[in-house]
A and B are shown apart, each in its own frame.
Chain A
Amino acid sequence: AQRVTQPEKLLSVFKGAPVELKCNYSYSGSPELFWYVQYSRQRLQLLLRHISRESIKGFTADLNKGETSFHLKKPFAQEEDSAMYYCALRAGNTPLVFGKGTRLSVIA
């Protein structure tokens, strides 16, 4: 069975500090990994996906198959980064499996 684990419910960092939101997954094959973000009073939206290897809003995430991880990183946190972040996995044509989410709070 596919599972996504986000060990931190809440992560608080100071503005300008580096951010790392952890995500580990369990799946024996080659999954697609995603990060979704939900800003206050807004809908869930895709932040980035591992296959595109893009940097969105300064965030990057690298798929580490050996450690089955897909941690989200940003070198310098901004106040507008405060939001709920969800890691999600898709295997083949199966639906998205989400983690429980991490609330990122950036303190001015």
Chain B
Amino acid sequence: DAGVTQSPTHLIKTRGQQVTLRCSPKSGHDTVSWYQQALGQGPQFIFQYYEEEERQRGNFPDRFSGHQFPNYSSELNVNALLLGDSALYLCASSLRGSEAFFGQGTRLTVV
């Protein structure tokens, strides 16, 4: 089991562009959560997907959206990128309420 895998590992985008980040959960997990980790900060919750629906959402604008597919994998989309969106984006998977396992993250740089 490869655990939680995220792609790409690094990404550079220009202000105003759109980006899609991908996450494959650990085998057997059905819940995917996304976190943003700015430099020097702890991870901040963006949203959580279960049964292909957004179940919970943190304090992030609508520019941040997501999707979960029938195979439980997930995407995070960010529109109209701002410089402040530069961060490490973490995906975590779990089996409803159990321990969360994290991916290596995607480092997004907005220039």
Contacts and interface: CB of A to CB of B under 8 A. Distances in A.
Contacts of A9: 40
Interface in B1-57: 3-4, 33, 35, 40-45, 48, 56
Interface in B58-82: 58
Nearest to B34: A95
A93 B90 CA distance: 19
A94 B56 CA distance: 8
B43 A44 contact: yes
B104 A43 contact: yes
Contacts, number: 44
Given A93-B97, A95-B58, A96-B100, A43 B45 contact: no
Contacts of A95: 33, 45, 48, 56, 58
Interface string B83-102: 00000001010000101111
Interface stretch (A11-19, A59-67, A70-78, A98-106): A98-106
A45 interface: yes
Main secondary structure, interface of A, reads loop
Given A44-B90, A95-B56, A95-B58, A86 B42 contact: yes
A97 interface: yes
B99 A98 contact: no
A46 interface: yes
A45 B4 CA distance: 11
A76 B45 CA distance: 34
B35 to A, nearest CB: 8
A98 B56 contact: no
B102 A45 contact: yes
A88 B42 CA distance: 9
Nearest to A100: B42
A25 to B, nearest CB: 13
Interface of B: 3-4, 33, 35, 40-45, 48, 56, 58, 90, 92, 97, 99-105
